[in-house]
Structure 1
Amino acid sequence: MYIIKDVENLRKKIKYFKIINKKIGLVPTMGNLHNGHIQLILLSKKYADIVIVSIFINPMQFNNLLDLKNYPRTFERDYTILKNNNVDILFFPDIHEMYPNGIKNQTFVQVPKLSDIVEGQSRPGHFKGVTTIITKLFNIIQPDFSFFGEKDYQQLLIIQTLVKELNYAIKIISLPIVRSKNGLALSSRNNNLNSQEIKIAPYLYEIIERTSEKIIQEGNINIIENVINESKILLLKKGFSIDIFNIYKYKTLDIPDKKTQKMIILASVWLGNTRLIDNKKIFFS
């Protein structure tokens, strides 16, 4: 596995792979890798000849400096995981390589509307940071495929829109949420949960499933408001603080109407000092 820290050397390596007609897959990460990342890597191997994993803790997408400071940095462990899974290139730039003129002077890319609603309201500027760094990675690497998890569903929608509207010749491939045995969606932030919170955290998905089942059983969306309110009460009783818990149109994240057939439950909650996100699709036939 090659470890490359600068853009120029990465481009030289990619140019060689392009000359010999190798398909390139990119798995962008911020490190602190878990089984969800491993599954993305394994998926990428089904599509690409050369798998590149990037590790860059992107300060532009943090609207909380303390959150940025506390984000886990586990390079040695991440390196071992990537090597054991036969990743071809680890791109590991520092902040000066990605933002040579500083974040405040950086040209940015932003997807309108989708970046400003739902989680975008709770985390102003977050998605601007995501789309800017993803655009930079796409421009540097020019992958044929890029792989993202469906846990960050709004982020996935935004990146799909970015690729379509900026005419990138990149296929975005998503991976369904990878969960632990107790149902908790895998996330790097789960490491911040204490022993008591680890016991409580799986109730988030349990309540999401309950919400979905009640709406599907009724066969219509007329009861959504009541079911959502009941679920929020359950979450509060379990010890969660609620940022987002609602149902949206599957592709636009608008509020559903009576004609809506495809919806998604989006949840962003706090458990102690840890923010957990999850989701579940609801499709009416």
Structure 2
Amino acid sequence: MLIFNNKTDIKALLAKHKETNSTIGFVPTMGALHKGHLSLLEESVKNNDYTVISIFVNPTQFNNTEDLEKYPRTLEADVDKIKTVNDNIIVFAPTVKEMYDNEVTSAHFSFDGLENQMEGQHRPGHFDGVGTIVKKLFEIVEPDNAYFGEKDFQQLQIVKKMVEKNSMPVNVVGCPILRETSGLAMSSRNERLSDDDKNKAALIYKTLTEARQLFEKHTVDYVTEYVKSIFKAHPEFDLEYFEIADEATLIPTNIKENKKYRAFIAVFLSNIRLIDNISLN
């Protein structure tokens, strides 16, 4: 398995592959890999000649310093997991200095309003950080296809918008959320949950599935109030937001029209922030 830490070497290797018209698949991650990440790798390996995975904890997308410090960094274990998918996957694990030189700051992006909803409201500057690092990574790897999980659905839509607005020749592929048997969406942050908290966190997906059923016969306001009441009855959770939004624009709505809708949620459990979403159509 090839592991690169600097841009120059990986760009040189990938340029050789490009000369033979080989396709490059890319899975950007922040490490602490789980089965959800591995499913993205499997999709890339299946559909491309070569697959690259990046492992980089991006400081500019954290607006909470403590969250950045506590984010799990498990490169050695990550590499072992990658090998279970395919031993020929190329790993790019740069340092902060390699990616940002001496200026660890975000560029400013306009995502046509996608950045102002939900996560954007509660994590100022987060999507500028996401846009900055994903654009840098795309420019280094120059993938044909890039794979993102739908757990971060807002991020997926924003990456698609960034590619469109910057005319980048990358096909952004959204892949289904992988879940624990309890329904809890797989996430690197789950590593910080105790076993007891993991059991409690199953309430998040359970409530989303109930919201989807209620959405068929009730108003958006009714569904929203129901979800709020569930978490109010479970004070170990702190509900940050629950929104029903248009999938394309991410704008929350109170009116049902002939569009695709998705329910989005963010909650804190034991001071650990968990997000999830579900299609309502």
Q: Same fold (TM over 0.5)?
A: yes
Partner of 1:43, secondary structure, is: helix
Give unmatched runs, 5+ long, in structure 1. none
Whole-angstrom CA distance in 2 between matches of 1:88 and 1:163: 24
Q: Aligned residue for 1:242? A: 239
Deviations 1:235-267 (A, max 9, x none): 232231111112011110113324243111000
Asked whether the equivalents of residues 40 and 175 of structure 1 are also in contact (C-alpha less than 8 Å), the reply is yes
Q: What displacement does 1:271 show? A: 0.8
Whole-angstrom CA distance in 2 between matches of 1:131 and 1:41: 21
Matched, 1:215 2:215: yes
Q: What displacement does 1:200 show? A: 0.6
Tell me the C-alpha RMSD between the 2 structures: 1.3
Give unmatched runs, 5+ long, in structure 2. none
Amino acid at match of 2:268: W
Q: Aligned residue for 1:187? A: 187
Asked whether the equivalents of residues 110 and 131 of structure 1 are also in contact (C-alpha less than 8 Å), the reply is no
Asked whether the equivalents of residues 52 and 88 of structure 1 are also in contact (C-alpha less than 8 Å), the reply is yes
162 and 81 in structure 1: CA distance in 2 versus 1, 3 angstrom threshold: same
Q: Aligned residue for 2:269? A: 271
Q: Aligned residue for 2:126? A: 126
Deviations 1:55-91 (A, max 9, x none): 0000000001111000001111001111222242100
Asked whether the equivalents of residues 61 and 126 of structure 1 are also in contact (C-alpha less than 8 Å), the reply is yes
Whole-angstrom CA distance in 2 between matches of 1:77 and 1:53: 14
Q: Bigger CA drift: 232-241 or 143-152?
A: 232-241
Partner of 2:155, secondary structure, is: helix
Amino acid at match of 1:263: Y
Whole-angstrom CA distance in 2 between matches of 1:22 and 1:45: 12
Whole-angstrom CA distance in 1 between matches of 2:157 and 2:203: 26
Q: Aligned residue for 1:32? A: 32
Whole-angstrom CA distance in 1 between matches of 2:107 and 2:120: 20
Q: What displacement does 1:223 show? A: 1.7
Amino acid at match of 1:266: F
227 and 88 in structure 1: CA distance in 2 versus 1, 3 angstrom threshold: closer
Asked whether the equivalents of residues 107 and 128 of structure 2 are also in contact (C-alpha less than 8 Å), the reply is no
Deviations 1:21-42 (A, max 9, x none): 1100000000000000010000
Correspondence list, 1:154-233, <5 A: 154-216=154-216, 218=217, 223-233=219-229
Q: What displacement does 1:112 show? A: 4.0
Asked whether the equivalents of residues 145 and 171 of structure 2 are also in contact (C-alpha less than 8 Å), the reply is yes
Q: Percent identity?
A: 37
How many residue pairs are counted as aligned between the two chains? 278
Amino acid at match of 1:54: S
278 and 93 in structure 1: CA distance in 2 versus 1, 3 angstrom threshold: same
State TM-score, norm by structure 1.
0.94
Q: Aligned residue for 2:67? A: 67
Deviations 1:94-146 (A, max 9, x none): 00000002213x64545241112211010001111011000001111110000
State TM-score, norm by structure 2.
0.95
Q: Aligned residue for 2:90? A: 89
Matched, 1:282 2:280: yes
Deviations 1:200-259 (A, max 9, x none): 10010001100110111x1xxx62112211111112322311111120111101133242
Deviations 1:260-285 (A, max 9, x none): 431110001111111111111112xx
